[in-house]
Structure 1
Amino acid sequence: MSLAFLLCLLVLFVLAGIGTPIAHSMIVAAVVFLAVKGQDLGLAAEQVIQGLYDSFIILAVPLFIVAANIMNAGTISERLLRFCVALVGRFKGGLGHVNVVASLIFSGMSGSAVADAAGIGKIIIEMMTKGGRYPAGYAAAITAASATIGPIIPPSIPMVMYALVSDSSIGFLFLAGIVPGLMMGAVLMAMNAWIAHRRGFAVDEPVPLRELPAVTMTAFPALLMPVILLYGIYGGATTPTEAAAVAAAYALILAGLFYRALTLSNLYSIFLHSARSSAAVGLVIGAALIFNYIVASENIPGLLAGSLQGLDISPIAFLLIINVVLLLLGCLLDATTIILVIVPLFIPACRALGIDLVHFGVVVVVNCMIGLVTPPYGILLFVINATTGISLRDIIREIWLFVLVLLVALLAMILLPDLVLWLPRQFGYRG
């Protein structure tokens, strides 16, 4: 490991530590590395241009962002929410169950935990806290916890990024996320039911069963979104990037023509917000491409893989160690940075130990999503605090039990790879 690389890391951590955006920190650190090495500073721009130009799959990210923003702006979210209330609102802790089920359904459209929490999550929190039925902190905590499911069930923006750095099949990654996403929803609903009985939360007035068909038909066009998306990919009609374009177009047609919930001014705001979000993500991806070039030039992945080969370590032990490291990093760094900068360091070691990269990718994404609700950083906690005004102290006090059951689900995924790989294997995956 050269002095230039150590200086690069020092600059990165100092800039990030004083609050500089992580993308800017990585770009400046990369320029420092190139300058100390005496290399052409234009290499930084070259790596960004080549990386973005050669990676068609990256185009899926802004398309999924557009689809999610259209879903939030139209009445689609409200229709889906009424369907969830009719489905599970009749049980003890009903609105908590509605919260989780809504995230399971909405995750098939947004691919983003932040979009889930800031969009449909805000509506559910208002429903839960109305009339003092649920404590505000509890409503915010279960909303944050359930939003972590968003990037696990396809489509998934973090999985697109993982596919970029690992050269894994995005189609099989999407399939591998379905069972883990359902498992996360199940453990959150189980914890919600236990807390609801223990605290004596009131049972909400159930929607009459005779109204269920009408509510279902109203939500049915929106429920078709994930079906169309998955059929396009696994039926061979579209690539994942093309499926993202279909999802955005379908959301636009649904909200604008079928539900008539969009105006031209709303559409302008949606595209403007989507462009800003996409630019922010693109900047991080570009910075990560430069940084990954530096890491490769220093042969850091090879050194790590070589050191592991000298140790008598099993694949399960390696996965457990890496997940502890990622959980700790998740308390401080955002998921995008971890996936694009940290995870590529471990991929050669995974190959050397015979760890399936699709299994590893799903575990990494689940781990990063748990990091989004783990104090002190927990970006979803800040998002909900900013959109609802509920104090961080109240949210953090209630979040720990949900983090615990999510960690139990993560441990099951690590120890039982077949839970993750069963569905991809049904569609021909040979990993």
Structure 2
Amino acid sequence: MSLAFALSLGLITVLAFMGLPMGASMITGSILYLLMRGQDMGIAAEQLLNGMYTNYIMLAVPLFILAAEIMNSGSLSERLLNWCNAVVGRFRGGLAQVNILQSIVFAGMSGSAIADAAGSGKMMQYMMTKDGKYTPSYAAALTAATAVIGPIIPPSIPMVLYALVADTSIGYLFLGGVVPGLLMAGLMMLQVAITARIRNFPVEQPVPLRQLPRMTWQALPVLLMPAVLMFGIYGGVTTPTEAAAVAAFYALIVSVFIYRAVKLPDLYSSVLTSAKTTASIGMLIAGALVFNYVVTIENIPRTISATLLAWDLDPTMFLIAVNILLLLLGCVLEGTTILLVIVPVLIPTAQALGIDMVHFGVVVVVNIMLGLITPPYGLLLFIMTRIANTSMRALVADVGPFLVGLIIALLVFTFVPDTVLWLPKLFGYVSPSITP
């Protein structure tokens, strides 16, 4: 490691701790490195522009964000919750099960854990804590844990970013996340069922079964959205990026013309919020692109790859090390930073060990999502403490059992690659690598 790189890394760390956005910190540190190495400053702009404006898949990010915002501003989330309540609300701890089920369905529309928690999560918090049915901390913990499923079941914004850095098929990545996402949801449902018996959670007034067809019909446009996306991508009708545009357009049509729940001010607010979120993510991506150029000049990926290969790690031991590393980093770093800066360094070693890039991508994304509910830097924890008006200590105590269950699920599809690759292979995926 050269002195220039060490000072660059130090400057990025200092600026980030001082509160400067991570993207701006990485750009500043990278410029310092270029100055010290006597290179042209235009290289930074060149790397930024080449990465941001020549990559077609980047367009999927703002479009999926816009789709989620439009759905949150309309009555789509409310209709979805009513349908979920009719299906599973009749069981003990039914509202908790509703929370998990709505996250599964909402995951097929937003691709964002934050959108899930900030959107339908607010309504679930109110429904679960009304009349003291559940403690605020338990309701908030469950909402945070279920929101993690959002970017695992397609569509997924983190998987789009992984595809950017790993040059992997987005379509097969999306398919690879289906079974792991459902496995995670199933384990949480089992946990809730057991806890409901132990803590004697309330049983909701059951919705008569004769009303279920009517409620299904009312929620049908919402429920069809994941099917529309999947048909578009895997039916060969659209690319994943075009499917993101279809998702935003579909959400607009359903909210404005079918449900008539979104007015012009609501639409303006959704577009504005989406633009702000996209700008924030875009700045982070821009900084990562420039800094990754610096990392490449320093030959750090090759050096780390050679070091790890010299340790004679087999694929299984490497995946264990990656899981531990990413879970620890998730406690202190923002997920997108890990995905854009740390993961590219690990990819050459994974490829050299013959690990399938779709399998590796799903493992990476799940690790990064778990970082959203691990203290001290768990973004979903911060969001839910504000929504639920509860203490961080109480929230962390209640989210702990769910985190353990999700880690168990992570270990299952880390060591059983077919849980990830089974569905992609059904759609014609041929793994170029030999997974452990």
Paired residue secondary structure (1:423)? helix
Question: In structure 1, how many angstroms separate the alpha carbons of the residues matched to 2:213 and 2:201?
Answer: 28
Paired residue secondary structure (1:346)? helix
Equivalent residue for 1:155? 155
Task: Read off the aligned partner of 1:212 and give its amino acid letter.
Answer: L
Trace 1:378-417 onto structure 2 (pairs within 5 A): 378-417=378-417
Q: CA deviation at 1:18?
A: 2.7
Answer whether contact 1:136 1:394 (CA < 8 A) is retained: no
Question: In structure 2, how many angstroms separate the alpha carbons of the residues matched to 1:390 and 1:48?
Answer: 41
Answer whether contact 2:114 2:147 (CA < 8 A) is retained: yes
Asked if 1:291 is matched to 2:291, the reply is yes
State the Cα deviation string for residues 60-83 of structure 1 (Å, max 9, x = none). 000000000001000000000001
Q: CA deviation at 1:390?
A: 2.4
Q: CA deviation at 1:308?
A: 2.0
Answer whether contact 2:60 2:244 (CA < 8 A) is retained: yes
Question: In structure 2, how many angstroms separate the alpha carbons of the residues matched to 1:337 and 1:363?
Answer: 16
Question: In structure 1, how many angstroms separate the alpha carbons of the residues matched to 2:387 and 2:200?
Answer: 28
Trace 1:59-138 onto structure 2 (pairs within 5 A): 59-138=59-138
Asked if 1:56 is matched to 2:56, the reply is yes
Equivalent residue for 1:374? 374
Asked if 1:191 is matched to 2:191, the reply is yes
State the Cα deviation string for residues 171-203 of structure 1 (Å, max 9, x = none). 000000000000010011111111111111111
Question: In structure 2, how many angstroms separate the alpha carbons of the residues matched to 1:312 and 1:293?
Answer: 28
Equivalent residue for 1:308? 308
Answer whether contact 2:137 2:394 (CA < 8 A) is retained: yes
Q: Which 10-residue stretch deviates more, 199-208 or 110-119?
A: 199-208
Trace 1:193-272 onto structure 2 (pairs within 5 A): 193-272=193-272
Question: In structure 1, how many angstroms separate the alpha carbons of the residues matched to 2:174 and 2:143?
Answer: 23
Runs of 4+ in 1 over 3 A off after TM superposition: none
Equivalent residue for 1:15? 15
* RMSD of aligned alpha carbons: 0.8
Task: Read off the aligned partner of 2:162 and give its amino acid letter.
Answer: Y
Equivalent residue for 1:430? 430
Answer whether contact 2:136 2:388 (CA < 8 A) is retained: no
Q: CA deviation at 1:396?
A: 1.2
Question: In structure 1, how many angstroms separate the alpha carbons of the residues matched to 2:91 and 2:178?
Answer: 25
Q: CA deviation at 1:19?
A: 2.6
Paired residue secondary structure (2:23)? helix
> Structure 2 stretches of 5 or more lacking a match?
432-436
Q: Percent identity?
A: 57
Trace 1:322-337 onto structure 2 (pairs within 5 A): 322-337=322-337
Question: In structure 2, how many angstroms separate the alpha carbons of the residues matched to 1:194 and 1:18?
Answer: 45
State the Cα deviation string for residues 245-292 of structure 1 (Å, max 9, x = none). 000000000000000001111111111111111111111111110011
Q: CA deviation at 1:387?
A: 2.8
Q: CA deviation at 1:384?
A: 1.4
Answer whether contact 1:77 1:120 (CA < 8 A) is retained: yes
Q: CA deviation at 1:311?
A: 1.9
Task: Read off the aligned partner of 1:171 and give its amino acid letter.
Answer: G
Question: In structure 2, how many angstroms separate the alpha carbons of the residues matched to 1:174 and 1:378?
Answer: 24
Paired residue secondary structure (1:372)? helix
Q: CA deviation at 1:393?
A: 2.2
Q: CA deviation at 1:391?
A: 2.4
Answer whether contact 2:137 2:388 (CA < 8 A) is retained: no
Task: Read off the aligned partner of 1:117 and give its amino acid letter.
Answer: A
Answer whether contact 2:48 2:289 (CA < 8 A) is retained: yes
Question: In structure 1, how many angstroms separate the alpha carbons of the residues matched to 2:244 and 2:408?
Answer: 32
Task: Read off the aligned partner of 2:214 and give its amino acid letter.
Answer: A
Equivalent residue for 2:434? none
Q: CA deviation at 1:361?
A: 0.4
Paired residue secondary structure (2:377)? coil
Task: Read off the aligned partner of 1:115 and give its amino acid letter.
Answer: A
Answer whether contact 2:285 2:340 (CA < 8 A) is retained: yes
Equivalent residue for 2:38? 38
Q: CA deviation at 1:21?
A: 1.6
Paired residue secondary structure (2:373)? coil
Answer whether contact 1:80 1:219 (CA < 8 A) is retained: yes
Question: In structure 2, how many angstroms separate the alpha carbons of the residues matched to 1:227 and 1:135?
Answer: 35
Q: Which 10-residue stretch deviates more, 223-232 or 306-315?
A: 306-315
Question: In structure 2, how many angstroms separate the alpha carbons of the residues matched to 1:81 and 1:309?
Answer: 50
Answer whether contact 1:114 1:147 (CA < 8 A) is retained: yes
Question: In structure 2, how many angstroms separate the alpha carbons of the residues matched to 1:258 and 1:374?
Answer: 40
Q: CA deviation at 1:370?
A: 0.7
Q: Which 10-residue stretch deviates more, 303-312 or 262-271?
A: 303-312
Equivalent residue for 1:165? 165
